[in-house]
C-alpha cells in the first residue's frame, strides 16, 4: 500500500498489508481490551478523551502537514480539520455520560427503564478525503460509549492512520483498544466475519457501501453508512446574492471539491441567474491554485491521478451533451494531480455532472424557472445527504426545507457537520447517523429493563 504526495507524485511511504492471521491476532487483542474498557466509568473515559484533544491541539502543525502531504488538502484547511477533531473529542468527553444515562419510563412495571450498553468492537472503514475528521467522528463517540475500535483506513493515508492509533495510545487508552488494521479493501469481508467484530461503519462510495453492507448483512451485524452526495445549492429569486455566492465558493471548492457534503448542483432561478453566474465566475477565477503547503493556496491537487481522469471524463462528456463551459475544464500541465477550477452552466438531467457525484473543483449551474422547478431538480437525484437553500423568506424556507429529500437542510448557510447535530443521509447517501446524541447511540445496545 503506497502513500504518494499528489502535489508532485513522489512516493512518501509503503506499507505491507497484514496477513489474515496477523489481523485476527490484532482483533483478538482489541476484543480483550474492550472487555475491560466497557467496565470503566465515564470519568476515566472522559479524562482520556480530553487528553486526545490536548494532544491534537499541541501537535496540530505536524498532523496538518501530514494530511496535506498525503492527500493534498490546503494546509489552512488541514489545521482546521485537526481543531475540529479536538472539538468532537471534547464534546463527547463532556456529554457522553448524560447521553447514555439510564432513561426511566412509566409502564405497568414497578420499575422500567432504558439502558445503553456498548456493542463491543466496531470496525471503521474510512476514506482519504478528511483523513483525521472522519476517523474521529466515529472514534470519539464509540470509545466514550465503551466500545473498541478497528480502523481500516484508505491506503493512501497510512501515515494518518498510524498517527491516529498512536494518539489514542499516548492519551492513556488501553494499548489495543483502538487499532489500525493494515489491510487492503479485498480483506475487509474477512474482518467483518470475525466473531469479535460486532458492527461496521463506513464512509465512502456507494459501491463500497454495498459491499460492506452485504458482508455485514450476511453476518447480521449493525452498519452505519455515509456514502456519496450530490448536494443541491438552491438559489431563489429573493436570495442575498453577494452572501450566497461567497458561501457558494467555499461550499463547492473546500478540500478542492473533494467532500461528500460539498455543494455540487447549483440550482438557480433564472431571475437571478446572470448576477449569480457573473459573481461566481469572478470569485472562482480569483482562487489560487498551487502547492497545498503554501498558505496562499486555495485549491490543491486532487488526491490521486485516477480522480483527475474521472473528473475530466465527467466534464468533457457533459459539454459534449450541451453543457456550456464558462471557465477551466482542463487538466493542468504541471507535476501533480491538478485540475483547473471549472464552472459549467446550462446543465440538465442526463449529463454526468448532473447525475453523478462530482468529486473535484467543478461548479455546476442548473437554471430553473421558479421555486417549484428548483425543488423538483433538487430531489431529482439518487443521493440525499445535504442541501442548502437561499432566500430572504425564512418562514417559507422552513416549509420548503421539509420537502427536500436530504439528511440535513441548511437555510442561508453552507452544509457542514457539527458534533452537536446528527449527520447522515438517505437514499444512495446511506443510512444511520453520526454525531450528536443519535450518533453515540448507533453502536450501543438499547436495552429495556422491566422489573415487577
260 is catalytic: yes
**pLDDT score recorded for residue 429:** 98
CA-nearest of 136, 169, 134 to 154 is: 134
Q: Are strands 231-235 and 222-226 parallel, antiparallel or unpaired?
A: unpaired
**pLDDT score recorded for residue 148:** 98
Q: pLDDT digits over 231-264, tens only?
A: 999 999 999 999 999 999 999 999 999 999 999 9
Q: pLDDT digits over 409-448, tens only?
A: 999 999 999 999 999 999 999 999 999 999 999 999 999 9
226 is catalytic: yes
Torsion of CA 90, 94, 98, 101, to 10 degrees: 80
The domain ranges of the chain are 2-226, 231-411
**pLDDT score recorded for residue 314:** 98
**pLDDT score recorded for residue 267:** 98
Q: What is the mean pLDDT of residues 45-53?
A: 98
- Active-site position among 77, 206, 226, 405: 226
- pTM beyond 0.85: the answer is yes
- Active-site position among 81, 260, 340, 434: 260
131 falls in which pLDDT band (50, 70, 90)? very high
Q: What is the mean pLDDT of residues 191-214?
A: 97
Let me know how long the chain is. 452
Superfamily of domain 2-226: Aldehyde Dehydrogenase; Chain A, domain 1 (3.40.605.10)
Could you tell me which CATH class the domain 231-411 is placed in? alpha beta
Q: What is the mean pLDDT of residues 94-108?
A: 98
CA-nearest of 22, 26, 11 to 70 is: 11
CA-nearest of 359, 324, 361, 360 to 344 is: 324
**pLDDT score recorded for residue 386:** 98
161 falls in which pLDDT band (50, 70, 90)? very high
Angle value at C-alpha 302, between 71 and 360, nearest 5 degrees = 130
What percent of the chain lies above the pLDDT cut of 90?
100
**pLDDT score recorded for residue 247:** 98
288 falls in which pLDDT band (50, 70, 90)? very high
**pLDDT score recorded for residue 244:** 98
Return mean pLDDT, the chain.
98
**pLDDT score recorded for residue 51:** 98
Amino acid at each position: 500500500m503506497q502513500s504518494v504526495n499528489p502535489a508532485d507524485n513522489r512516493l512518501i511511504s509503503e506499507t505491507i498489508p497484514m496477513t489474515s492471521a496477523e489481523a485476527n491476532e490484532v482483533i483478538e487483542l482489541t476484543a480483550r481490551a474492550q472487555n475491560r474498557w466497557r467496565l470503566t466509568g465515564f470519568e476515566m473515559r472522559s479524562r482520556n478523551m480530553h487528553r486526545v484533544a490536548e494532544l491534537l491541539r499541541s501537535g496540530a502543525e505536524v498532523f496538518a502537514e501530514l494530511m496535506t502531504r498525503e492527500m493534498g488538502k490546503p494546509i489552512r484547511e488541514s489545521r482546521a480539520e485537526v481543531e475540529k477533531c479536538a472539538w468532537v473529542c471534547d464534546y463527547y468527553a463532556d456529554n457522553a455520560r448524560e447521553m447514555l444515562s439510564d432513561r426511566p419510563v412509566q409502564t405497568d412495571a414497578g420499575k422500567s427503564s432504558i439502558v445503553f450498553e456498548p456493542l463491543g468492537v466496531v470496525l471503521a472503514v474510512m476514506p482519504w478525503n478528511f483523513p483525521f475528521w472522519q476517523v474521529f467522528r466515529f472514534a470519539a463517540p464509540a470509545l466514550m460509549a465503551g466500545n473498541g475500535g478497528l480502523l481500516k483506513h484508505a491506503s493512501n493515508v497510512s501515515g494518518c492512520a498510524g498517527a491516529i492509533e498512536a494518539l489514542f495510545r499516548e492519551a492513556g487508552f488501553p494499548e489495543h483498544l483502538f487499532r489500525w488494521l493494515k489491510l487492503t479493501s479485498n480483506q475487509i469481508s474477512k474482518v467483518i466475519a470475525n466473531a469479535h467484530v460486532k458492527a461496521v461503519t463506513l464512509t465512502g462510495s456507494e459501491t463500497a457501501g454495498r459491499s460492506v453492507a452485504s458482508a455485514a448483512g450476511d453476518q447480521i451485524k449493525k452498519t452505519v453508512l455515509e456514502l456519496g452526495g450530490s448536494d443541491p445549492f438552491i438559489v431563489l429569486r429573493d436570495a442575498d446574492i453577494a452572501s450566497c455566492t461567497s458561501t457558494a465558493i467555499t461550499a463547492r471548492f473546500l478540500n478542492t471539491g473533494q467532500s461528500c457534503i460539498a455543494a455540487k448542483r447549483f440550482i438557480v432561478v433564472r431571475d437571478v441567474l446572470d448576477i449569480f453566474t457573473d459573481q461566481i465566475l469572478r470569485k472562482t477565477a480569483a482562487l489560487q491554485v498551487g502547492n497545498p503547503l503554501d498558505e496562499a493556496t486555495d485549491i490543491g491537487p486532487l488526491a490521486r491521478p485516477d480522480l483527475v481522469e474521472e473528473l475530466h471524463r465527467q466534464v468533457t462528456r457533459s459539454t459534449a451533451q450541451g453543457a456550456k463551459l464558462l471557465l477551466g475544464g482542463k487538466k493542468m500541465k504541471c507535476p501533480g494531480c491538478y485540475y483547473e477550477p471549472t464552472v459549467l452552466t446550462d446543465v440538465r438531467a442526463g449529463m454526468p455532472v448532473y447525475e453523478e457525484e462530482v468529486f473535484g473543483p467543478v461548479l455546476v449551474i442548473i437554471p430553473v424557472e421558479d421555486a417549484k422547478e428548483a425543488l423538483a431538480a433538487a430531489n431529482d437525484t439518487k443521493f440525499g445527504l445535504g442541501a442548502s437553500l437561499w432566500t430572504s423568506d425564512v418562514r417559507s424556507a422552513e416549509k420548503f426545507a421539509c420537502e427536500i429529500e436530504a439528511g440535513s437542510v441548511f437555510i442561508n448557510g453552507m452544509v457542514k457537520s457539527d458534533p452537536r447535530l446528527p449527520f447522515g443521509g438517505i437514499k444512495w447517501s446511506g443510512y444511520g447517523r453520526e454525531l450528536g446524541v443519535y450518533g453515540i447511540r448507533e453502536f450501543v445496545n438499547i436495552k429495556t429493563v422491566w422489573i415487577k
